[in-house]
Chains A and B, each alone.
Chain A
């Protein structure tokens, strides 16, 4: 196993608030790792730092893709995506007025380029390239069980469907590292169980490393091999699900400190 992501002393402050403070985080190739913590712990901020939405205040993010090791800190989001980091959003961010298929096609076409003249003049190769993009996108819809709604507008999908579509779109960028921000939020237990299975499957089929933020503890404990616990922007614990579950600091962060009445 080799290290795919190495985050060292990652810090981000907004004005006087330090949202993420000296976070160290390492992902090995092929791992499925959870990032948990109470509301406002800084989990999504970590994702936003990893994907370039904000530049880090300090610290380094080193990402290794096959044949290349690069620093992601300060890079633009699209460049980080092209390096091989895909993500989904906690507050779903689909292209709502486009069809399900178009949503995935736009992600897929980033690796299927053809020149501007081909677009304007419908030169030979346009139709073939477009067919490849469409078929590639359809294939991903099949994987995410969305092929039957391919021509619906994204906004008309159920909540669970929209979350699936976010993953399909992220997969279409052909990532090696996939960041899932609360993929099961708003789902019922049955849907969550199905999603858990699906996440395992796509990790295997696409050879992914997955880092996921999740509130649903059953999902995290079942699916994740290792867990990082964040509280007030600081990593307070890490380890296997069992280790984390038994850690008094984690219990304290989630349930509050025991009050001595004596």
Chain B
């Protein structure tokens, strides 16, 4: 029992630490050049965005079109705080404040709207994100449409690694817990979930606020890497971009979101040489993937090392079944 726990931990951490060290060396040797570093940053931010939206839409089943709004709150908080206190503590404080504010807004918006079902939530969240964007455009302290710059850059590969891995792990821990199973039960059948004692409104609001928190963190990562933030970067299209990653990876699959974030970034990079038709090819690829994998790349399964022994067990079970027959 203890041995297998140790092995599991090793199987998880060894590849992660190896990835961290290898990428760190490649960045320092400039094999991963400035351009590829931007791609790397985008992948990390998109992973956190997609994982957090997947918690809301894929696992809890609440169709949200407003994730860019939470991202904006995180981005502006991080920018404003770290521009005033230009230190790593200012950055981390702003990041945390952004997450907490986004969660608070998620909670306040979620409380009334998550009593609604299906399409209504999509429209309510869409409206929320637009309100946030327009407020940022009109407030004095957010510098209106011109946005904020320069945002001190604290995000480097080490922070990207810590924040991305940390966020995905926390979300994954939540999903594989009592509260996470409650949320999944809400997605599967709300009436049945209520009938066995799940407070479904509480469960939905909780998942929504947690998703919003990590959306805010992703926004902070964005602000502290890209120097400039403007309200227009957090519009409806950004929300759709995030949703595309989630759907492509598979609603209800965290590893699917991670893989899709990678894949889309790589596709996008490969299409750089064809600026004229880039968006058309990108859209075509998405359509083709959706035709052949309508459930997303991974469906609602997870890519996991534990899958292997599980397949073994299935086969054993099947074998013993035939013996009985």
- Mask of B162-200 contacts with A, CB within 8 angstroms, 1/0: 000000001001100111111011001101111111111
Closest to A104 in B: B196
- Chain B positions 8-61 with a Cβ under 8 Å from a chain A Cβ: none
Report if A78-B179 is in contact (Cβ < 8 Å); known contacts: A95-B185, A97-B300, A119-B173. no
Query: Interface residues of B, CB < 8 Å — how many?
Result: 26
Whole-angstrom distance between the Cβ of A181 and the nearest chain B Cβ: 11
Q: Which residue of A has the minimal Cβ distance to B182?
A: A106
Binds B, one of A7-15, A36-44, A166-174: A166-174
Are A89 and B197 CB-contacts (below 8 A) given A95-B185, A106-B185? no
The answer for the CA separation of A225 and B300 in the assembled complex, in Å, is: 46
Which 8 pairs, one residue from A and one from B, show the smallest C-beta to C-beta distance?
A119-B177, A95-B188, A110-B197, A77-B194, A93-B192, A81-B197, A107-B196, A109-B178
A110 & B189 in contact (Cβ 8 Å cutoff): no
Residue of B at shortest CB range from A148?
Answer: B317
- Bound CA span A96–B188, Å: 7
Residue A19 at the B interface, CB < 8 A?
no
Q: Which residues of B contact A118 (CB under 8 A)?
A: 177
Q: Complex formed: what's the CA distance from A52 to B182 in Å?
A: 19
Interface: A112 (CB within 8 A)? yes
Within 8 A of B (CB), among A93-117: 93-98, 102, 105-107, 109-114, 116
Is A255 positioned at the interface, with any CB of B under 8 Å from its CB? no
B174 contacts A133, C-beta separation under 8 Å: no
A93-B191, A95-B188, A116-B179 known; A107 vs B174 contact (CB < 8 Å): no
Given A93-B189, A120-B174, A81:B180 Cβ within 8 A: no
Residues of B close to A122: CB separation below 8 A: 173
Interface mask (A139-167 → B, CB under 8 Å = 1, otherwise 0): 00000000000010000000000000000
Residues of A within 8 A of B197 (CB): 78, 81-82, 107, 110-111, 173
A178, chain B: closest CB distance, angstroms = 12
A: residues with CB less than 8 A from B are 51-53, 76-78, 81-82, 86-87, 89, 93-98, 102, 105-107, 109-114, 116, 118-122, 126, 129-130, 133, 151, 169-170, 172-173
Interchain CB contact under 8 A, A89 and B178: no
Q: State which of A114, A169, A173 has its C-beta within 8 Å of the C-beta of B178.
A: A114
Instruction: For the complex, give the distance between the alpha carbons of A162 and B300 in Å.
Output: 21
Q: A110-B198, A120-B174 are in contact. List 17 more A-B contacts (CB 8 A).
A: A53-B195, A76-B194, A93-B191, A94-B188, A94-B192, A95-B184, A95-B193, A96-B188, A98-B185, A112-B178, A118-B177, A119-B174, A119-B177, A122-B173, A129-B178, A130-B177, A170-B196
With both beta carbons as reference points, the residue of chain B lying nearest to A116 in the complex is identified as B179
Neighbouring B residues of A95 by C-beta, 8 Å: 184-185, 188-189, 192-193
B173 lies within 8 A of A106 (CB): no
CA distance A12 to B185 in the complex (A): 29
Q: Which residues of A contact B300 (CB under 8 A)?
A: 97
**Contact with A173, one of B180, B184, B196 (Cβ below 8 angstroms):** B196
**A118: min CB distance to chain B, Å:** 8
A78 to B200, CA, bound (A): 8
A77–B200 Cα gap in the complex (Å)?
Answer: 10
> In the complex, what distance in Å separates the CA atom of A111 from the CA atom of B91?
41
- Please, which residues of chain A bring their CB within 8 A of the CB of B184? 95, 98, 106
Known: A93-B191, A98-B184, A121-B173. A106 touches B179 (CB 8 A): no
Q: Report the Cα distance A95→B69, complex, angstroms.
A: 32
Q: Which of B178, B188, B194, B196 is in CB contact (< 8 Å) with A119?
A: B178
Residue among B181, B185, B197, B200 having the largest count of chain A Cβ atoms under 10 Å: B197
Q: Which residues of A contact B189 (CB under 8 A)?
A: 93-96
Residues of B within 8 A of A129 (CB): 178
Residue of B nearest to A133 (CB): B178
Q: Contacts of B195 on A, CB cut-off 8 Å?
A: 51, 53, 77-78, 81, 87, 89, 93, 170
Whether B181 contacts A109 by the Cβ 8 Å rule is: yes
**In the complex, which residues of chain A have a beta carbon less than 8 angstroms from the beta carbon of B192?**
89, 93-95
Q: How far is the CB of B97 from chain A (nearest CB, A)?
A: 19
Complex contacts, B313 vs chain A, CB 8 Å: 151
1/0 per residue B121-136: CB within 8 Å of A? Answer: 0000000000000000
Interface contact A106-B198, CB-CB below 8 Å = yes
Residues of B within 8 A of A94 (CB): 188-189, 192
User: For the complex, what is the distance from the CA of A151 to the CA of B184, rounded to whole Å?
Assistant: 17
* Docked pose: A253 CA to B302 CA in angstroms: 54
Complex Cα distance A78/B192, Å?
10
Chain A: minimal CB distance from B59 (Å):
11
Closest to B180 in A: A119
Q: Roughly how many angstroms separate A144 CA and B67 CA in the complex, as a whole number?
A: 43
Chain A min CB distance to B123 (Å): 25
Is there contact, CB below 8 Å, between A102 and B198?
no
Contact present for B181 and A106 (CB under 8 Å) = yes
Contacts of A87 in B (CB 8 A): 195
In the complex, what distance in Å separates the CA atom of A120 from the CA atom of B172? 8
Quick one: CB contact mask for B75-117 with A, threshold 8 Å, 1 for yes? 0000000000000000000000000000000000000000000
Contacts of A107 in B (CB 8 A): 196-197
A81 touching B178 in the complex, CB below 8 Å, given contacts A95-B188, A98-B184, A119-B173? no
Q: A82 contacts which chain B residues (CB < 8 A)?
A: 197
* B174 near A78: Cβ-Cβ < 8 Å: no
